[in-house]
Structure 1
Amino acid sequence: MNHSVAGGTALTGEAEVLLSVRGVRKSYGARPALKGVDLEVRAGEFVALLGPNGAGKSTLFQLLTGLFNADAGEVRVCGQDMRVAPVRALGRIGVVFQQMTLDLDLSVEANLLFHARLHGLAGARARTRIDDVLGRLGLTERRGDRVRELSGGNRRKVELARALLHQPSVLLMDEATVGLDPASRRHLLDEVLTLRATGVGVLWASHLVDEAEAADRVLVLHKGELVAQGAPVELVAATGSPTLAAAFLQLTASTQAVEPA
């Protein structure tokens, strides 16, 4: 069965497109993981990418972060083609992966200094950026603590601080709340939502529907295809469902694409 991508409503003011994905396909042998995906994220926009396990979210993020190349299609970050200018494209992206990638035996500050050097930040400039992100996330008092001494929620906040250190235009969050308690999940989500005011475009991948309730747009990925997109209220109305969770279940169980009203 073919699922077509539904058209969401246009953003007011037509903010700049920061992340553009066009016709992206990726297969592993004979198994297609992505089947011609189109999406975009604009400046100051929080986009939630919802999909059940196996939908293709992880594959998409591997392509967006340069870990693999797409078999077909195009990925552009701030106008930079990922294939033609990968260093420039990746330099505009901050990412928090599902699996933690901090060094547990280093302090919070040492982890951030290492990342700063990778992005060409050093000396007073690096320390100013670190002071800023730690202050923003309420981690100033923990800067000297080893990462292994932190709670799961604070480790995630350190990873968010690291992702923001080089002031990216696009923030990718790949199932970033996995393993966190409800309060920590909510706090991390709230921190990321505040970034909209700074003009950062956010793509937040999750299988947890409640995390998408506050999104500007929701993209529903199912079996490698975008089956619907739109504001949460649009998807609820289009499916005739009482909640976004019910709409998501209907969309990922149905063989018919749904177009928001």
Structure 2
Amino acid sequence: MSIRVEQVSFHYGKKAALNNVSFALETGQFAALLGPNGAGKSTLFALLTRLYAQQSGEIFLRELALNQHPTAVMQKLGVVFQQSTLDLDLTVQQNLSYHAALHGLSGKAAKGRIQQELERLQMLARADEKVRALNGGHRRRVEIARALLHQPEVLLLDEPTTGLDPQSRSALNQHIRQLCHETQLTVLWATHLIEEITLEDRVLLLHQGRLLSSATGHSLCELSQQDSLSKAFNTLTCDGASY
């Protein structure tokens, strides 16, 4: 297993944001964390990235417990948050060089990694442009390149297509899937958009803090007795539904 979450719960006061969530992802797997707004997706990402301290349950990456080996685990994670964190007044190259230095990469090694990731994401020609001049889709590609500089084993993307047009959303989604295929990168892609998921994908369906299913899109359709993933999602997340 690449990443494993066991019986994780989290409360904001008396309100349960996550309730006994458990799942595991295989190396090189693209998995979608699907759920409506407020389902608990961002809370789960905050726990996976140590923005929040764990209250109960365990999180493992390659059998290393996040609580016990935080530095080692975080070195194996790449993260793209919902809100952009790029410096708009720096160039693409400058943004990536700064991030590489934070991970202990410098000089020739950093330059090589930056070139490799920008080439992979078809952004090398924009390396000397200020981020402010880029459109939303290209900024997201820069953020993904940045997240991959230290060659993580797992990439977490929290609603990465927020604010993008349909064509840019589709292109970004395909780029990430290609990365899984080419590099055996494990990806957890959080979304509330059904069109970003295929029937063959592993789908972690989160609703009101509970993981309703962690099967494929095909299995979700069978479970809900529906003929499309969109209908299955609506059925399974309907208040009062029990599966």
TM-score for the superposition, normalised by structure 1? 0.90
Structure 1 contact 175–204 (Cα < 8 Å) conserved = yes
**Residue number in structure 1 paired with 2:32:** 48
Contact 2:49 2:74 in 1 (8 A): yes
Partner SS, residue 214 of structure 2: strand
1:6-21 correspondence to structure 2 within 5 Å: 17-21=1-5
Alignment coverage as a number of residue pairs = 242
Structure-1 separation of matches of 2:119 and 2:41: 31
The structural deviation recorded for 1:83 is 0.8
Could you tell me which amino acid in structure 2 is paired with residue 226 of structure 1? L
* Deviation per residue, 1:155-211 (Å, 9 max, x gap): 000001001111100000100000000000001000000122211110000000111
Q: Retained in 1: the 8 A contact 2:16–2:209?
A: yes
CA contact (8 A) 1:48 1:215 kept: no
RMSD (Å) for aligned C-alpha atoms? 1.1
Corresponding residue number in structure 1 for 2:7: 23
Match of 1:154 among 128, 138, 142: 138
Deviations 1:32-90 (A, max 9, x none): 10011001111110010100111000000000011011210001112221111111111
- Displacement after TM superposition at 1:257 (Å): 4.3
> Which residue in the other structure is 1:253 paired with?
238
Measured after TM superposition, the shift of residue 18 of structure 1 is 1.1
Runs of 4+ aligned residues of structure 1 deviating over 4 Å after TM superposition are none
CA distance in 1, matches of 2:170, 2:207: 25
SS of structure 2 residue aligned to 1:171 = strand
Q: Is the 8 A contact 1:50 1:219 kept in 2?
A: yes
Amino acid at match of 1:143: A
Task: Identify the match of residue 228 of structure 1 among 198, 213, 225.
Answer: 213
Separation (CA, whole Å) in 1 of partners of 2:239 and 2:213: 11
3-state SS in 2 of match to 1:127: helix
Q: Could you tell me the percent identity over the aligned residues?
A: 46
Q: 1:195 to 1:214 in 2, by over 3 A?
A: farther
CA contact (8 A) 1:134 1:140 kept: yes
User: Secondary structure of 1:202's partner?
Assistant: strand
Whether 2:184 is the aligned partner of 1:202: answer no
* Matching residue's letter, 2:143: E
Unaligned runs of 5+ in 2: none
Bigger RCO of structures 1 and 2 (CA < 8 A, at least 6 apart): 1
TM-score normalised according to structure 2 size = 0.97
User: Structure 2 CA distance, aligned partners of 1:28 and 1:121?
Assistant: 38
Equivalent residue letter for 1:33: A
Tell me if 1:74 matches 2:67.
no
Return the alpha-carbon distance in structure 1 between the equivalents of residues 39 and 200 of structure 2: 20
Contact 2:23 2:214 (8 Å CA) reproduced: no
SS of 2:47's equivalent in the other structure is helix
Aligned to 1:104, the other structure's residue is in SS state coil
Kindly indicate whether the alpha-carbon contact (under 8 Å) linking 2:77 and 2:154 is maintained by their aligned counterparts in 1. yes
Distance 1:37 1:45 in 2: 19
**Amino acid of the structure 2 residue aligned with 1:145:** E
For 1:192, the equivalent position in structure 2 comes to: 176
Task: Decide which of 223, 238, 242 is 2:227's aligned counterpart.
Answer: 242
Is 1:102 equivalent to 2:86 in the alignment? Answer: yes
For the 8 Å contact 1:222–1:252, the answer to whether it is kept is yes
